[in-house]
Structure formats: structure tokens, C-alpha cells
Structure 1
């Protein structure tokens, strides 16, 4: 090992400090409480209303992800992912995740783990413990991620890693 040679910086060394906290809420469920029955895949498949506040100055867009960390697959299950939500949009109505809905002008809905480009409702295995559905919103310092609807959720998260200004979550549970 050559001790005189400069060491390359770690790739994440220049990332911003821990982001500020967004407040995420819903008119349809309380944080930690159950999701409405109609948010289930077989019982309506409807995305809940979501609102967020507290974005820091410099926020130019938002990213939204609904993820079930309790799914019986490695890494959990992504139910809904939307990127490039304009900075002036701070709420989504119930049903904004429908396949035929435009979440917001310029927003891009990615393919979820069901293989569809929409909100894929809660669907834990029958008899399993309640699953958590975590709706996380990130405030970003960029207008566009440069990704299109064919990008994976992992690519979305990796691409935006250095652009996060703030984030916040609300979690609902669901059980069949």
C-alpha cells in the first residue's frame, strides 16, 4: 500500500447532512393507524389523500414512495412511486394514484412491484400480521430527475440521493 498516494474521497462524502423533516398527513388515516379498507388491492385499490408541509427553501420538486417493508420478499414491496412532483403541489387527493389519473403536471409515475404504473393497493397475505405501508415524501433541489416511467424505484432513489433537502413519512397498516 502506497501511503504517500492521496486517498480518493468516499462517493457519499459530499452528500448533504441529514435532511430536514417534512410533515406528512392524510385525511384518510392517522399515522400508525389502519388504512381504510378501500386502500386494499381487492377492496377498491384506491390511494389515500396525502398532504405534506415544511419543505425548506430551495425545494423544486417532490418524490413519493409507498413501500411495504413487511412484504414476504427481500427488500419489501413498492406499491406506488411518483417523481418530479412540482414544488407547488403539496397534497394529492384520494384516488390520485389511479392508472388513468395524472398525479400532477410533469409528474412521472413509475412501475410498481405489481408491474403497473399506478397505486397498487395493500395486499398482505391472508392471515399474516398487519403490514405497514409507509408513504414517504422527499423534497428535492431539482425540477427533474431526468428519469422516465421505465425507471426502477431503486434507480429513482439512487439518482436523487444527492438532491434530498427534506423527507417525511406517514405509516398506515393493513391486514386481511
Structure 2
């Protein structure tokens, strides 16, 4: 399953000091780990508002649908963000998640670790889109544990998402 399998739902507002919708990613959101010059693997600062009535929690994801991997590439997934939370600081996606709200945790990204992985498309592959999304869900906990796959997350989001707020950035390596 991929991000494209998620149902269409109402949108709400998402803003970031780290990136603007449609703009290129800043070096901080690219991957030092995967050799991008100036990369920091720093998750973006996010703030949101206007989630649908009935929202009991949030899930935050960063996904690259243009990756040369079937189903795209998951860079970050945070589940069980409490409904009282309306923002995450830049860098909240460090391994260990010490800046995440109480009860929230990160799933393994497609690089195999729990945390944010910055953008690092293959050189010469062209521009990739990075979909940063906050999903408003109708449950406080999705019933996943830290070992759950992003495929399991997509299946849960399919039946529990009330709304979604999205910012899309882009990045390429020549």
C-alpha cells in the first residue's frame, strides 16, 4: 500500500517555518546520513489548525511518491500525537523522539530506523516531491506499536482519517 491509497478527506491548515508549500526543501530537511551536502536530517517545524470535529489525535508523515521504489518512500511517521497538540518543533524527529509529545512515537522509516530521514533522491533522478502531512484521526491511539510497518499505518489511516493537512516541498540532486 502507498500514500496514494489513502482516501480523499477534508483539508485543514498546516504551516511551517521550515518549508513553504511548493518550494525547494532547505538543507536542514535533506539527508546528511545519505550524503547530501549540507544535509542535517532535521524534521520540519510544523503547526496546524482547523482540524475536523471529532479529531482525537494526529499522525504526522513525510512521504516521497517519486522514489524509485514501488509504493514510494517513507521518510517519517509519527503516531498517537494527542489532539491537544497543534505543533511540533524543528528536529522533533530525532532518533529517540525526545521532542515528541507524551504518548507519541515514531515508526521505522524506509531506511530502517525510527526517526526523520531527510531528502536524498538518487543523483540525476530529477525532482522529487516530499509530502509533509498531518492526518487528523478519530481515535487517540491507532493500535500500532513501534515495530509496525508503514503499510500497517496506511491501512489504519484508511479507516480512521477525518482530515488531512499537507505541505509539499521538492528536492533533487544533479
Q: TM above 0.5, one fold? A: yes
Q: Is the 8 A contact 2:97 2:106 kept in 1?
A: no
For the residues of structure 1 that align with 2:114 and 2:30, how far apart are their CA atoms? 16
For the residues of structure 2 that align with 1:70 and 1:92, how far apart are their CA atoms? 26
**Structure 2 match to 1:41:** 31
Q: What are the Cα deviations for residues 126-149 of structure 1, in whole angstroms up to 9, with x where unaligned?
A: 122121110111101101111111
| 1:65 and 2:61 are equivalent in the alignment | yes
Q: For 1:159, what is the secondary structure of its paired residue?
A: helix
Instruction: Normalising by structure 2, report the TM-score.
Output: 0.87
Structure 2 unmatched ranges of 5 or more: 1-6, 33-38
Q: For 2:155, what is the secondary structure of its paired residue?
A: helix
What RMSD in Å do the two structures reach over aligned CA positions?
1.4
Q: Is the 8 A contact 1:22 1:137 kept in 2?
A: no
**Structure 2 match to 1:21:** 11
Q: Which runs of 4+ in 1 moved over 3 A?
A: none
Q: Which of these two proteins has the greater Rg computed from alpha carbons? A: 1
Q: CA deviation at 1:19?
A: 2.5
Q: For 2:166, what is the secondary structure of its paired residue?
A: strand
**Structure 2 match to 1:137:** 134
Q: Is the 8 A contact 2:44 2:89 kept in 1?
A: yes
Q: Give the number of aligned pairs.
A: 160
**Structure 1 match to 2:85:** 89
Instruction: Normalising by structure 1, report the TM-score.
Output: 0.86
**Structure 2 match to 1:164:** 161
